Amino acid sequence: MIKLSTKGRYGTRLMINLAGHFKAGQDAVILKNISDEEDISIRYLEQIIIPLKIAKLVKSIRGAGGGYTLARSPSKIRLCEILEVLEGSCCLVECVDDSDFCRRTDSCAAHEIWAEASRVLKDYFDQFTLQDLLSIQEKKKAQARSHGSLRPAGRTSCGQAHRRRASGAH
Amino acid sequence: MIKLSTKGRYGTRLMINLAGHFKAGQDAVILKNISDEEDISIRYLEQIIIPLKIAKLVKSIRGAGGGYTLARSPSKIRLCEILEVLEGSCCLVECVDDSDFCRRTDSCAAHEIWAEASRVLKDYFDQFTLQDLLSIQEKKKAQARSHGSLRPAGRTSCGQAHRRRASGAH
DNA sequence: GGAATTTCAACACAATTTTATATGATTACT
DNA sequence: AGTAATCATATAAAATTGTGTTGAAATTCC
Ligand code: FES
Ligand code: FES
């Protein structure tokens, strides 16, 4: 699938959410809040936000009245930064970053392709800041409203994996 | 990482290998051969080649003297086809293909981005045929020879995962 | 016809990574 | 002190990434 991991997907939504609150003037949002709004488990959000904090994309405020907030304004944070922090890098294969990963790169045609594809993808993600994503979101919301095409439930959201839940009680 | 799975990587190398033999006029290559040349387990190759056969990208010939061969000439097989067969699709997230996967796509900014990024990536992979990859490979080999920059071992190859093998005998 | 070679099918198994959930300690505000 | 929040581990379920085995079916060669 060449799939984006859930960390990348959830993390992006987490950051978009924080960006929204940032714009609204709030300075600390608690994870419970984000968890409710985005329908992602708090426990998982706690794990996802750690690398974002280490990378100084978000700031944490401990104790009562604390929470998280963006470390910079949404227009100063690029999607590419978020993904690199959460996915390790935007590289499609290890040997693009780590030349020791596979020998025979001298004769491997695929290596060229993966490397260039990684660059193409990175360049694409580098175009967008959180501010851009916020703008897209607002435009979409306005469109959905005017269009009157409200989805029935609208509870869960992108990247959500709680679909096949056949395993019963656990 | 937005990583390409091993199936995509190994499968691409498998196809490049078949393409090489196809060009050389051989009409059936046995997996043992590919396994030795590419340093990928036969058992795993057997699993990987099944979808390629179903998708009619390779033909199988049973019995003694049999093996596998490309179903079409290398110039008629695009990298994108191979990856779509092995990775399910080139989509970065499920909701791009499956609109039921996540609700709230109406207001999800990320959805737009993932969808467009998937298209960018697919377009990139669509550029190359197996013939192109063969040409790249030959050019690289020639370069490596003339350059005299032979790597010490040169045994294993791209996408190979046999690195940290600390778990002892098994 | 029989032996050898090869794909094909169906499992069982294990290591690792991904994807989460659970529990409790730590910090800071009131 | 009490509460609200982050922070730190531990654990578990599931998917990915393989390897191993056993045999059946098809085809070639002798
Ligand atoms: S709706 Fe699927 S990514 Fe957000
Ligand atoms: S050398 Fe790493 S992909 Fe081939």
Tell whether B103 is covered by a domain: yes
One-letter amino acid of A86: L
B46, containing H or E segment: helix B42-54
Measured CA to CA, the distance from residue A158 to residue B100 in angstroms comes to 10
- CB within 8 Å of A103: residues ≥ 6 apart: B151, B153, B154, B155, B156, B157
Domain that holds residue B40: 6-151
Rounded-to-10 torsion of CA B50, B11, A90, A10: 10
Average confidence score pLDDT of chain A: 84
A129 domain-assigned: yes
User: For residue A41, what are its two tokens?
Assistant: 């488990």
In a domain, A162, yes or no: no
> Is any atom of ligand 2 closer than 6 Å to the C-beta of A105?
yes
What is the value of pTM for the model shown? 0.86
- Note whether B1 contacts A111, CB cutoff 8 Å: no
Comparing C-alpha atoms, which of B144, B157, B140, B138 is closest to residue B20? B138
Helical segments of A42-78, H only: 42-54
Residue B1 is assigned to a structural domain of this protein: no
- Is A154's Cβ below 8 Å from some Cβ in B? yes
pLDDT at B22: 95
Alpha-carbon distance of B12 to A117, in angstroms, equals 14
The two tokens of residue A8 are: 């990348």
Residue A166 resides in a domain: no
| pLDDT one-digit tens code per residue, A119-137 | 999 999 999 999 999 999 9
Residues of chain B contacting A151 with CB distance shorter than 8 Å: 103-104, 106
CATH number at residue B82: 1.10.10.10
Query: In this predicted model, what pLDDT tens digit does every residue of B65-122 receive, in sequence order?
Result: 999 999 999 999 999 999 999 987 767 887 777 766 676 777 889 999 999 999 999 9
Q: What residues of chain A, 11 to 40, have a C-beta less than 8 Å from chain B?
A: 12-13, 16
For residue A156, tell me if it sits in a domain.
no
Number of domains in chain A: 1
B104 contact A CB<8A = yes
Residue B162 located in a structural domain: no
Q: What pLDDT does residue B1 have? A: 53
